[in-house]
Structure 1
Amino acid sequence: MAKITEETMIDITFNEAFADTLHQHLKTPVIALQFDLQIGSLHRLNNALDPFWQLKAKHDSNSTAAQLVAAAHQQLARLRKSTDAGEAVRVWWSDSADDTLGFLWLCDRLKDQQLNVTHIKVPLTVANYQNRDVLKRFATLGDIDSDAVNAYLDTAKNLSYSLRQTYSYEWRALSAANAPLRVAINGHMVGVPADFLDGALRQAMLNIKLKPVSFAKRTRIITETLTAYPIGVPAWWYRHRLAILNDRSNK
Structure 2
Amino acid sequence: MIEIVFSESAGGSLKIAQHNGEGTYPGGCVGVILSHADGSAPTRAELKAAQREAEASARAAWEKAVPLGGNAADVFAFHLALSVGDIGDGGMGAGREAALGALFACYPAEGEAAARELLERSRRDWSTVRARMARGEQARVWYSQQPDEMCGLCWFMAQLRDCPGAPEPALMELPRWESDGETLVQKNGWADVAPEEWHRYLTLQRETPPPFVRACANRWRELTQENAPLRAVVNGRLIGVPENFYDPLILREIAAEEEVFQEARLIGRILGKHPLGIGDGWIALRLEALIESGALEAVSPAPKKGPRYRRTLKKA
TM-score by length of 2: 0.69
1:123 alignment partner, SS class: coil
Contact 1:111 1:164 in 2 (8 A): no
Shift in Å at residue 162 of structure 1?
4.7
Corresponding residue of 2:148: 98
- Residue 179 of structure 2 is matched in structure 1 by 127
CA offset digits 1:29-79 (Å, max 9, x no partner): 311111111111113521168642431231256434354123222122122
Q: Given the alignment, which residue of 100, 107, 129 partners 1:82?
A: 129
Query: Quick check: 1:89–1:115 contact (8 Å CA) kept in 2?
Result: no
Contact 1:10 1:82 in 2 (8 A): yes
Distance 1:71 1:54, change over 3 A: closer
The runs of at least 4 consecutive aligned structure 1 residues that moved more than 6 Å come to none
Give the structure with the higher percent helix.
Answer: 1
1:83 to partner: Cα distance: 2.3
Q: Which digits, 9 at most, give the CA deviation of each residue in 1:115-159, with x for residues without a partner?
A: 23211111132122xxx5111112222111222211211222222
Alignment of 1:236-247 (within 5 A): 236-247=281-292
CA spacing shift, 1:209–1:69, aligned 2, 3 Å: same
Matches within 5 A, 1:36-185: 36-42=81-87, 43=89, 44-47=91-94, 51-60=98-107, 62-85=109-132, 86=135, 87-113=137-163, 114-116=165-167, 117-128=169-180, 132-185=181-234
Describe the shift of the 1:102–1:210 C-alpha distance in structure 2 as closer, same or farther (beyond 3 A): farther
1:95–1:187 Cα contact (<8 Å) kept: yes
The one-letter code matched in structure 2 to 1:24 is I
**Where does residue 229 of structure 1 map in the other structure?**
274
Identity of aligned residues (%): 21
Equivalent position amino acid for 2:225 in 1:
A
Higher mean Cα deviation, 41-50 or 113-122?
41-50
Residue 109 of structure 1 aligns to which amino acid in structure 2? Answer: Q
SS of residue paired to 1:208 = coil
Cα distance change on mapping 1:226 and 1:192 into 2, 3 Å: same
State the 1:182 CA deviation.
1.2
1:31 matched to 2:80: no
- 2:242 is matched with which residue? 193
* Matched residue SS, 1:111: helix
| Contact 1:111-1:165 within 8 A present in 2 as well | no
Structure 1 contact 111–161 (Cα < 8 Å) conserved: no
CA distance in 1, matches of 2:117, 2:15: 22
Assess if the C-alpha contact under 8 Å between 1:14 and 1:99 holds in 2.
yes
Q: Residue 56 of structure 1 contacts residue 65 of structure 1 at CA under 8 Å; is this kept in 2?
A: no
Q: Separation in 2 of the partners of 1:84 and 1:169?
A: 23
Any idea what SS the aligned residue of 1:12 has? strand
Give unmatched runs, 5+ long, in structure 1: 1-8
If the length of structure 1 is used for normalisation, what is the TM-score?
0.85
Residue by residue over 1:143-198, the C-alpha shift from the partner in whole angstroms, topping out at 9 and shown as x without a partner, is 11222211211222222555323321111011111111111011111211111111
Distance 1:123 1:63 in 2: 34
Structure 2 runs not aligned, ≥5 long: 19-69, 298-315
Counterpart Cα distance in 2 of 1:177 and 1:45: 17
